[in-house]
Amino acid sequence: MGHTGRPAEPDKRTLRRELLTVRDRLPEDDVRASATELAGRALELPELAGAGTVAAYVSVGSEPGTLALLDALRARGVRVLLPALLPDNDLDWGAYAGRGSLARVQHGGKMALFEPAGERLGPDAVTEADVVLLPGLAVDARGMRLGRGGGSYDRVLARLESAGARPALVVLLYDSEVVERVPEEPHDRPVHAVVTPSGVRRFG
């Protein structure tokens, strides 16, 4: 019987639920303070120091906050690309032009997302990024990332691979979300680094 990667799913679902429950209990002040710390840590990354284009995302709710980092990158003259969710769960991209350039978009029953209001650059725009900041719920000791399960970033990673693009892949998390092991499937790829409020951890 070949390994199809199916058995990982229930484990992933349970782990996602547990991690999201912990996140949802975080006081707003902690979420805010963490966002400032995360920005400071991430800005020390040599990959970000030399980046001309960074693909990122706008955090929502109790996700580790990204806006302070997006503003700091933009102030450095970095071109920041933000995703816009397409009906098939793939991602289109647009340039970040400050907080006033974000539109709150409700996608069906899912949570509302903040997306770039300006021109759409197409799904392939991500292949121009020097660094891709990936949302996630956990990263393990090998650098394997547990995503939210929508599959959007699996497509992004596949697109980067087929284009021969080799950006640095970085995940922003809370300290407690760096775990011993997350369930993985054959197509999963490790990230290069995880940034938490207390520091940066790199993977070979």
Mean pLDDT calculated for residue range 70-93: 96
What pLDDT does residue 108 have? 81
Q: Give pTM, 2 decimals.
A: 0.92
Residue 28's φ and ψ, nearest 5 degrees, are -55, -35
- pLDDT tens digits, one per residue of 166-200: 999 999 999 999 999 999 888 788 999 999 999 99
The full set of domain ranges for the chain reads 8-202
Question: Which residue type is seen at 113?
Answer: L
Task: For residue 148, say whether it is annotated as part of any ligand binding site.
Answer: yes
Task: For residue 12, say whether it is annotated as part of any ligand binding site.
Answer: yes
Task: List b or e across 120-136, with b for residues whose CB sees 16 or more CB atoms inside 10 angstroms.
Answer: ebebebbbbbbbbbbbb
Residue 2 has pLDDT above 50, yes or no: no
Q: Specify whether the CB–CB gap between 104 and 88 falls below 8 A.
A: no
Distance (Å, whole) CA 3 – CA 137: 24
What pLDDT does residue 150 have? 86
What is the CB-side half-sphere exposure of residue 171 using CA atoms within 13 A?
26
Tokens of 62: 């109790």
Task: For residue 146, say whether it is annotated as part of any ligand binding site.
Answer: yes
- pLDDT tens digits, one per residue of 11-63: 899 999 999 999 999 999 999 999 999 999 999 999 999 999 999 999 999 99
Task: For residue 149, say whether it is annotated as part of any ligand binding site.
Answer: yes
Task: For residue 38, say whether it is annotated as part of any ligand binding site.
Answer: no
Task: For residue 122, say whether it is annotated as part of any ligand binding site.
Answer: no
Architecture of domain 8-202: 3-Layer(aba) Sandwich (3.40)
Task: For residue 176, say whether it is annotated as part of any ligand binding site.
Answer: no
Residue 4 has pLDDT above 60, yes or no: no
